[in-house]
A and B are shown apart, each in its own frame.
Chain A
Amino acid sequence: MGKIESLTEEQEAKLPEYAAKWIAIGKDVSALNKEAIKIHMIGYLSGHKLNDYFWCGSPMSIMIVALLLNHDSFVDMPDGCTPKKPIDKVAMRNAIFDEDNNQKISWKELDALALEHYTIHQLNWYVEEDINKCNFGQQDAAWLSFYHVMKSLLGVKLDPRIDDMFALAEHSNWIKATGNIAFCSEKPVYITATDDLGRAHCETGPYILYPDGWSTYCWHGTQIPRYFIENKEQLTPGVALTLPNMEQRRAACEILGWDKILTELNARVINEDGDPEIGKLLEVDLPDLGTERFLQVQCGTGRTFALPVPPEMETALQAQSWTWGMDEVNFFKPEVRT
């Protein structure tokens, strides 16, 4: 099949139907269709039938449960893979699940159980490493919609398991298959409305909440800590500007409002370039840290970020050049910035 260079008018006219279908799948909060999941997992695994299914209350719970019940599978864990205290798998299973393999304890209780056996460092490492090994599911609706259009609308030949992946997205949430066992998350209890651009966003509570109480908070598509929303008194201008992740720093600055940050931190404009993509050099007084300089700059997507820069910076252009490891003589403003 040759490269598809353009769509026909008829094909373009059908795209909104695909978008509506997959947005509905992505936002579905109905119960899992457990029988459909079992059938399509066999197809997805090319005929391999799993022995056991455990039904968990959230995606985070499937990760933690998979670790607690299959701890001997994870050999690369830092600090050694051995749990702090031995795990009796039968007792652990009975502590977490009822006789129908449904999770019976809350996320908080499961988290406490995990911390009895592993350090927070081990748990963080494991979740970050292993989360990408989960199957396709509802959470991948955006990617699967693309493949659905390719297959059904444009006739592109894909892996034969793609229909099982479409069905799993419709009927399941996150699934983690390990050995002969699958750990499946229930769908969320609710997903709040998105912002005007369709990004995950909620200003008053969690963006998404799962049945076992695990939730996550989002600000215009950026995942943020719970306290940004629930304990706003902890989110001070000083905290916002010193967050290590610049997307979260930007979100925190937006939540607080730049006016408040600049006023409360007694910000002085040291130098302002006429080009907002080169930015504005600010000096602020950070509580406990003293005087710091920041480059307030607009990126190619139009959002405003703040980057800490060395105290000896005197102009926005010098600071902008420094962030790229150059001096302003050798720095060239990009012809294209996106």
Chain B
Amino acid sequence: MKTFKNVCAQGDVQFFKRDKLPAGLKQDPAINNVIVVTHSETGHNHVMEIDRKDDPAVEMFTGDNPLISWIKVNRPTSLDHQKSYDVHESIMFDEGVYEVRRQREYTPNGFRRAQD
């Protein structure tokens, strides 16, 4: 499985390793034992398994910007793409804090998240 040190991308989501979480974030709950890092309107989400509810391998946080989230990886965890074809290969994350940026595209009214 692919690994990285500072910056990686899986499809339309990019990750930047940071020193710490910013203040004022809200934690997002895991659903069915996974955090959905990026929702896809066709169900091909990018997800990470929390492994154990009481001691999660990864936690997700959001602030005001819907295009940016944060994850705190407590144990090495893979980022997986829930698709059975044209799948983006899984990437292994080491412990640490990562800024998550979702790709956007231009519209005459401003911009919107790139939808897949």
Contact = CB atoms under 8 A, between A and B. Distances in A.
B7 A309 contact: no
Interface residues of B, number: 36
B61 to A, nearest CB: 17
Given A307-B105, A323-B114, A301 B6 contact: no
Interface residues of A, number: 32
Contact of B84 (A142, A220, A324, A332): A142
B11 A299 contact: yes
A335 B89 contact: no
B38 interface: no
Interface of A: 142, 197-199, 220-221, 223, 244-247, 293, 299-301, 303, 307-310, 322-326, 332-338
B88 A338 contact: yes
Given A300-B9, A300-B89, A325-B101, 14 more contacts: A247-B42, A307-B103, A307-B114, A310-B106, A324-B101, A324-B103, A325-B68, A333-B7, A335-B4, A335-B5, A335-B7, A337-B8, A337-B9, A338-B9
A338 B10 contact: yes
Contact of B4 (A220, A244, A334): A334
Nearest to A250: B116
The 3 closest A-B pairs by CB, nearest first: A338-B89, A334-B9, A336-B8
Interface of B: 2-12, 14, 16, 41-42, 65, 67-68, 81, 84-91, 101, 103-107, 114-116
A197 B2 CA distance: 22
Contacts, number: 93
B9 to A, nearest CB: 4
A336 B116 contact: no
B11 A300 contact: yes
B11 to A, nearest CB: 6
A336 B4 contact: yes
25 contacts: A199-B85, A244-B115, A246-B105, A300-B88, A303-B86, A307-B103, A307-B106, A309-B105, A309-B106, A310-B106, A324-B14, A324-B101, A326-B101, A332-B7, A332-B16, A334-B9, A334-B14, A336-B4, A336-B8, A336-B91, A337-B8, A337-B9, A338-B2, A338-B10, A338-B91
